[in-house]
Amino acid sequence: MRVLATGGAGFIGSFLCERLIERGDDVVCLDNFNSYYDPRIKRLNIVTVSRHPNYRLVEGDILDKKLLQDLFKNTHFDAIVHLAARAGVRPSIQQPHLYQKVNVEGTLNLLEMSSQFQVSKFIFASSSSVYGKNSKVPFSEDDSVDCPISPYASTKRAGELLAYTYFYLYSISVTCLRFFTVYGPRQRPDMAIYTFTRLISEEKEIPFFGNGTSRRDYTYITDIVDGIENAIDRCKGYHIYNLGESQTIELKHLVRLLENALGKNAKIKSLPDQPGDVPVTYADIQKAKAELDFYPKVSIQKGIEKFIEWYVQESDSRV
Ligand SMILES: NC(=O)c1ccc[n+]([C@@H]2O[C@H](COP(=O)([O-])OP(=O)(O)OC[C@H]3O[C@@H](n4cnc5c(N)ncnc54)[C@H](O)[C@@H]3O)[C@@H](O)[C@H]2O)c1
């Protein structure tokens, strides 16, 4: 099978490309190496996989329609895994137009290519943020997602809706995967686990928004990649799935896990709640279990140990 992975040089995308190459697929990675975080990190993410003969890197933007036309004219894809996006809730409040452009218009461009060039499977990276302040836990795919509380969340919901339209009009099979906070080696440096780890290691204060009781469902990277892989293979019709560990942990407990793994105490700087942040995320994964055979294997305790092991090795290699 030939798969186009947009955003394939990023955190999740680079692991996905490795997995698909390992199992014998042809992979084209389309990424523009933007500077949302240091693009050198993205280049490092793909060092190993890019040596493989079945892997091709196309450096470019999903907003570049000419580039997309040329790419799809010359290469037939069996599936698209559309991960390229501006990620991050808080920056979307500062740059809503940019998020709209990349996440909505960019997704529309790829759906258009899918219909014009007969790509039969479209996997869309959505997000738990679409649930907004949903107070009913765990979050089920049937819950209302009409009240997203950040531009980022709105763009992800818009992507799901556009994808439905293309399923309806052109019979493209679509699977939307709502990822719940993904972590592990190569995690985006703007995310809390990475930021806290760096600040605790450097003995600097960590910004602690709210009273530490906000809860997140954290999902280890290899579990997410298992879910995406099965979603590609089983993509038929239009479906939405939660991919989470289906466990929640409080922010203050997360900090304790990081302190233990690093052998250092955190210096906490208490700050008010951030606009756009939700108090809890918690995935109901019954549907993903039944239909995607999605059984997350890595507990937060084990996952944090693995993350810290990677982080320490990485920092040593930078010295
Ligand atoms: N990491 C998480 O916890 C999480 C949770 C929910 C949803 N998601 C979604 O999963 C996807 C991957 O997230 P990630 O954490 O790996 O982020 P990431 O930023 O590491 O990866 C995204 C990649 O897309 C590329 N990209 C961005 N805009 C592009 C454009 N216009 N053209 C081409 N490439 C472009 C970036 O250069 C980057 O390499 C995103 O769609 C994100 O919204 C992630």
- Residues 95-119: pLDDT tens digits? 999 999 999 999 999 999 999 999 9
**Residues whose beta carbon lies within 6 Å of some atom of ligand 1:** 6-7, 9-13, 30-34, 36, 42, 61-63, 83-85, 87, 102, 106, 125, 127, 179, 181-182, 188
Confidence of residue 319 (pLDDT cuts 50, 70, 90): low
The pLDDT score that the predictor gives to residue 292 is 98
Judge whether 223 and 296 are in contact, CB under 8 Å: yes
CA of 13 to the centre of ligand 1 (A): 8
Q: What is the mean pLDDT of the chain?
A: 96
Atom of ligand 1 nearest to the CA of 152: 43
Q: Label each residue of the chain as H, E or C.
A: CEEEEECCCCHHHHHHHHHHHHCCCEEEEEECCCCCCCHHHHHHHCCCHHHCCCEEEEECCCCCHHHHHHHHHHCCCCEEEECCCCCCCHHHHHCHHHHHHHHHHHHHHHHHHHHHCCCCEEEEEEEHHHHCCCCCCCECCCCCCCCCCCHHHHHHHHHHHHHHHHHHHHCCEEEEEEECCEECCCCCCCCHHHHHHHHHHCCCEEEEECCCCCEECCEEHHHHHHHHHHHHHHCCCEEEEEECCCCCEEHHHHHHHHHHHHCCCCEEEEECCCCCCCCECCECCHHHHHHHCCCCCCCHHHHHHHHHHHHHHHHHHHC
Percent above pLDDT 90 for the chain: 93
Nearest residue (by CA) to ligand 1, atom 13, is 12
Query: Ligand 1 centroid vs 20 CA: distance in angstroms?
Result: 18
Q: In this predicted structure, what is the pLDDT of residue 317?
A: 81
pLDDT at 29: 98
User: What pLDDT score was predicted for residue 287?
Assistant: 98
Ranges 6-15, 64-73, 203-212: which has the least confidence: 203-212
Q: Please give the CATH architecture assigned to the domain spanning 2-184+219-244+282-296.
A: 3-Layer(aba) Sandwich (3.40)
Ligand 1 atom with minimal separation from the 37 CA: 19
Q: Is the peptide bond before 96 cis (omega within 30 degrees of 0)?
A: no
Q: Which atom of ligand 1 is nearest to the CA of 88?
A: 43
| Distance of CA 73 from the midpoint of ligand 1 (Å) | 25
pTM score: 0.98
What digits encode the pLDDT tens for the residues 17-72?
Answer: 999 999 999 999 999 999 999 999 999 999 999 999 999 999 999 999 999 999 99
Question: What does the pLDDT read at residue 112?
Answer: 98
Nearest CA to 213 out of 277, 308, 283, 121 is that of 277
For the chain, domain boundaries: 2-184+219-244+282-296
Distance of CA 24 to the CA centre of its chain: 23
Cα(243) to ligand 1 centroid in Å equals 16
- The model's confidence at residue 315, banded by pLDDT at 50, 70 and 90, is confident
Query: Which of 90, 267, 236 is CA-nearest to residue 171?
Result: 236
Active-site residue set: 152
The pLDDT value given to residue 268: 93
Partnered with residue 277 across adjacent β-strands are: none
**What is the Cβ-side half-sphere exposure of residue 298, based on CA atoms within 13 angstroms?**
19
